[in-house]
Chain A
């Protein structure tokens, strides 16, 4: 009887995994000729992937509960004397981080005086600034030493919300293109002259 109890979930979860893989396969086949595909195919792919997720949820949860897969949300157990010891970096580590931040700033200022293409320059500056922000959040703001639960609550939320702002940029391009068209026509400034 006990053996049957062990075998049954394994068998059922196996079937579900096969179904999920089949749904992913159909999605992949549809995506194969995505170049000529339209919105309908996109819809089909999304539905297939949704089905795959639905099939896969149960086996994944089962594996998670039985500790068969990596559990990102569970920290290592805290040591008995754990909580009031000084978490976080030593003064030496903080000094190194400070030096790294200064060095990155120096690189940014140096790049400012290289006559780079604006887009390239902007990408490098934003990249360096993101690295600096990461260092500040991780070490100075002690994010690296918090619980994983907390990190997963704060960081992805903020990043997703920041990415949503990017929705505005196509509109900015449209605005500029429209201005480019109208600048051939008399503008207020040229009329005043």
Chain B
């Protein structure tokens, strides 16, 4: 850490590109863990983008596509889930701020709050899933009344829905585990470690900002109540 300080002082005196990139310094001024997390987030962005583009492709090239989500329960549930995820991002921001201010206990409480919201998201989403499965939606089959209502629909609705939201839910789940690990060992964590876990959490939130409109809001059932 002292060494890094010296390097930064030297850089501050002579901010020139040649010095920055000739080795022995920190061109990005961030630690290797945080850089690694950013690289992971970039690749994960592409994973989710590929899934969402595949969904758009299938929907775009199909004759018809089911629009099965009524106001209650689906849209209400997914809106509340959006609220929950956004709030969890806010508590995570507070956790990082507390960790940076050196108040680790406070940071732990904020992280526990974030984990609570994450768990709430998983529970709500699980209820939504079981509702749809109960209706008869499977990976390779639409419910019988949907097939009638939305004639010529692709049966891939189930695979895209469960695939995208499932991968997202898995990310939320691993995020909760990751945050639990950070909260458990908060004394050994540097502020940047807390920030790194926060980056992952915010990324999961960010992905939902695309999943929610593309999957739910583009498939609202107007004919119901």
Question: Interface residues, chain A, CB within 8 Å of chain B?
Answer: 73-75, 77-80, 82-83, 86, 88, 91, 94-95, 98, 101-102, 105, 108-109, 111-113, 115, 118, 121-122, 125-126, 128-129, 132-133, 136-137, 140-142, 146-147, 149-150, 153-154, 157-158, 161-162, 165, 168-169, 171-173, 175-176, 179-180, 183, 189
Contacts and interface: CB of A to CB of B under 8 A. Distances in A.
Contact of B218 (A82, A121, A128): A121
Instruction: Summarize A's interface: helix, strand, loop or mixed.
Output: helix
Interface stretch (B41-49, B131-139, B170-178, B180-188): B41-49
Interface in B85-112: 86-87, 89-90, 92-94, 97, 100-101
A74 B60 contact: no
A153 to B, nearest CB: 7
Given A73-B17, A83-B29, A112-B75, A169 B209 contact: no
B206 A98 contact: no
Instruction: Summarize B's interface: helix, strand, loop or mixed.
Output: helix
Contact of B83 (A102, A111, A125, A157): A102
Interface string B43-61: 0011001100100110011
A161 B46 contact: yes
Interface residues of B, number: 59
A97 to B, nearest CB: 9
Interface of B: 5, 8-9, 11-13, 15-17, 20, 27-30, 38, 42, 45-46, 49-50, 53, 56-57, 60-63, 75, 79, 82-83, 86-87, 89-90, 92-94, 97, 100-101, 152, 195, 198-199, 202-203, 205-206, 209-210, 212-214, 216-218, 220, 222
